[in-house]
Structure 1
Amino acid sequence: MRLSPVSQYMLMFISVLALSGETKAQTAPVVFYPFGSVAGDTVNIAVEDENSTRIDLWRPFVFFGRTYNKTYVNNNGHLTFNQPSSEFYVKYFPNGTEDVIAPLWRDVDVSRNGMISYQQYSNGSVLTQATQDINQYFPYLSFTATWVLVATWDRVEDFYYSGTEISFQVVLISGGDLSFILMNYGDCAATQFAVQAGYDTINSTDYVVIPGSINGNVIPNLKNTSNVNVPGRWAFRVDSGQENIIGVQMRVTSFSDLTENRNIETVLEKLQQELVKSGLPSSVKLKFRRIQKTRP
């Protein structure tokens, strides 16, 4: 069928509109576990603040001595266990009211952009990846993952504000009585609103705030930070209050600079003060270890 000049023009105009509306495929950050439609994720329905999805866990998850069979993936960047949460005002840790895992607590609105999705695994390549990761970060455990939950906030934005895209992910990993969490970060736009990354427990007997995560202007740097030497990833053991180690390196002119006149104690005290300012608990304990390189 031949088209009139007007019809041809209209068809061309529609084609141009279609092309202009195309979006480029997004590349997932290297540290992210599989997510989205490719991974077969379940996607949360976008309802601002009220979006909390209950997940019945295929395996029990032990969180600092308490065993949970369900969790809630909440819209605003955190997981709770006993009840869903629509709380968008950040409750800074230590708060002590409940067990909560917050890869990035922030006032998120997915009704306009991005998505929140999750997936559980009890076999396959994701368990293999989790096993390898945990044995790399905690090599003294000989760990085997039996269950993994991956929850991802992909290119979501602040409520009412465009141009504030953030991508982050939390991975819960279990193997028997051992439990771990990974917090993975991609691009995170700065924000003028309250934010926080870490976890808290009932009565705050154990809690962590990732350094720099409570400053909305600094969180774009989360993708460059780590406690396991993998940029954009933080790993924690969370089953029974075992200490998590955050390494700090410093270089001195001479080892005697530290060993003489009690300089070690002074340096450690000042370093502790700086870490506490960055959000770590005041109970953090620092130890000094000398590493000496020798040339062959």
Structure 2
Amino acid sequence: MVYSEFNFLLVESTSLWFIRREKIKCDQHYPYEGSTLGGDDSTREINLSHGIPVGNDIFHQVYVSTNGLITFNASITTYNPNLTTFYPFLAPFWTDLVPKSIQNDRVSYRVYMDKSSLQNATVDVQKFSRTPFFQAEWMLVATWYNTSFISRNDHKITVQCILITDYVSTYTMYNFINVSISDVGKKIGIGFNNGTSFSNPYSLSTSAYRMSTHIGNTGLFGLWFYTVTPDKNNCIFGTCDHGGVCQDMYRDFQCHCKRGFTGKRCQIDVDECLARPCDQGICKNTVGSYHCTCFIGWIGKHCDSEERQNNTVCSREEVCCKMSQNKSQEDTDSGTVAVLSALLAVVSLGSLALAVLTFHFRRQRIPEQTNVTDETYENVIPVLTNATEQESSIYTNLQLSPNANK
């Protein structure tokens, strides 16, 4: 990052951002490098393949002047500052300057378009303009390094102008790195014209000779930040639906939608079910999201985990945890005990049934034995009867004495 971090309060007035904070000196700057420009009242043209917006126009040529001035689509060599002129310009330090040598007293400029070099520019614009979505695409760094006034070689200044754009919004920074000299009698214009003229508070005054000692609108000594593509705030009406974040752009806006929504205004609900997120289930699209109804035996947000009978869950890519294995072993042991108990119960029931059958058969045999006894008695009785009869005849024929029964 080019500049040190700080806390700031922004209050917008036209295109200027005013910041209230404690005084902090800025000793850092962008590199002094690139092509050099020399001579009195000279300019150098820079062509842009992709035009940059300034004000309400798009420009494809930028001119750097030795007199502390940058213009668009036209070369301006005058050294008398006129901030009310009709043509667009940036005036970081518009006065009669003359670079004396290429080494120690020069004007240098360079265009940057690679992401690594633009990283610091992106951070600075996001910080000073409070536009968190800005990404720099093009940057021009012009430096009037140790440059003298036309008639005073002992009074030298170092000023840097940084022009940054994403081809939609354009910003500029004036960094007065070393401007603290006495008045030499020359007017110094500081400001810009992007269709509307703007003048720095110290412009065309003797205080302009000491710009490094003044706090800029960034809260840092000698550092000023401006927006040169004025445009109404296209986000003031809350144009993004479903909680999308609106980014104000030049003559346009962009919505950064929350997950599940798309469209210019985040008004379209994305059908997540088109991506088939449910592995073993049926997907139902909801507002901003979706829901999976899992098939039997599958659980999880995407129905990608198998539910086991012992309430353990194993995904297809994973193996059940050891706890589940121990649980399964316990269940197996319990099952073995249950089987043995069941077998014991069956044997007991079998024994009981056998005892019942035995008792039943025994009861059936008792009547049969009774019948056999009766038949025997029937066969025996006649024999006894006959004997009695014989005995009776004997007793009949037997002459007993009257005292025989005594």
Same fold (TM over 0.5): yes
Q: 1:85 is paired with a residue of what secondary structure?
A: coil
**Equivalent residue runs for 1:80-91 within 5 Å:** 80-91=71-82
1:14-36: CA deviations, max 9, x gaps?
A: xxxxxxxxxxxxxxx72421123
Go from structure 1 to structure 2 and tell me whether the alpha carbon gap of 1:197 and 1:42 turns closer, same or farther (over 3 Å shift).
Answer: same
RMSD: 1.9
Work out whether 1:42 is the aligned partner of 2:35.
yes
Unmatched 5+ stretches in structure 2: 1-25, 234-406
Structure with a larger share of its residues in strand: 2
Work out whether 1:127 is the aligned partner of 2:118.
yes
**Equivalent residue runs for 1:177-256 within 5 Å:** 177-188=168-179, 189-190=181-182, 191-202=184-195, 206-241=196-231
Q: Which has the higher relative contact order, 1 or 2, with Cα contacts under 8 A spaced 6 or more apart? A: 1
Counterpart for residue 262 of structure 1: none
Q: Output the CA distance in 2 between the equivalents of 1:210 and 1:68.
A: 24
Moved more, 110-119 or 230-239: 110-119
Q: Identity rate of aligned residues, in percent?
A: 22
Work out whether 1:167 is the aligned partner of 2:158.
yes
Q: How many Å apart are 1:219 and its aligned residue?
A: 2.4
Work out whether 1:30 is the aligned partner of 2:27.
yes
Q: 2:170 is paired with a residue of what secondary structure?
A: strand
Q: 1:164 is paired with a residue of what secondary structure?
A: strand
Work out whether 1:110 is the aligned partner of 2:99.
yes
Q: How many Å apart are 1:179 and its aligned residue?
A: 0.8
Q: How many Å apart are 1:185 and its aligned residue?
A: 0.6
Q: How many Å apart are 1:241 and its aligned residue?
A: 4.2
Q: How many Å apart are 1:198 and its aligned residue?
A: 0.8
Counterpart amino acid of residue 213 in structure 1:
S
Q: How many Å apart are 1:141 and its aligned residue?
A: 4.5
Q: Output the CA distance in 1 between the equivalents of 2:216 and 2:232.
A: 19
Q: How many Å apart are 1:218 and its aligned residue?
A: 4.3
1:240-293: CA deviations, max 9, x gaps?
A: 3469xxxxxxxxxxxxxxxxxxxxxxxxxxxxxxxxxxxxxxxxxxxxxxxxxx
1:156 to 140, 147, 160: 147
Counterpart for residue 44 of structure 2: 53
Q: Output the CA distance in 2 between the equivalents of 1:140 and 1:81.
A: 25
Counterpart for residue 138 of structure 2: 147
> Would you say how many aligned residue pairs link Structure 1 and Structure 2?
204
Counterpart for residue 74 of structure 1: 65
Q: Output the CA distance in 2 between the equivalents of 1:62 and 1:208.
A: 17
Go from structure 1 to structure 2 and tell me whether the alpha carbon gap of 1:218 and 1:181 turns closer, same or farther (over 3 Å shift).
Answer: closer
Q: Output the CA distance in 1 between the equivalents of 2:164 and 2:66.
A: 21
Go from structure 1 to structure 2 and tell me whether the alpha carbon gap of 1:182 and 1:218 turns closer, same or farther (over 3 Å shift).
Answer: closer
Counterpart amino acid of residue 103 in structure 1:
P
Q: 2:221 is paired with a residue of what secondary structure?
A: coil
Q: Output the CA distance in 1 between the equivalents of 2:218 and 2:209.
A: 18
1:28-79: CA deviations, max 9, x gaps?
A: x72421123xxxx1111x2111x10001125321001110111100110101
Structure with a larger share of its residues in helix: 2
Counterpart for residue 17 of structure 2: none
Moved more, 192-201 or 221-230: 221-230
Scaled by the length of structure 1, what TM-score is found? 0.64
Q: 2:123 is paired with a residue of what secondary structure?
A: helix
Counterpart amino acid of residue 32 in structure 1:
H
Q: Output the CA distance in 2 between the equivalents of 1:221 and 1:102.
A: 14
Q: 2:220 is paired with a residue of what secondary structure?
A: coil
Unmatched 5+ stretches in structure 1: 1-28, 244-296
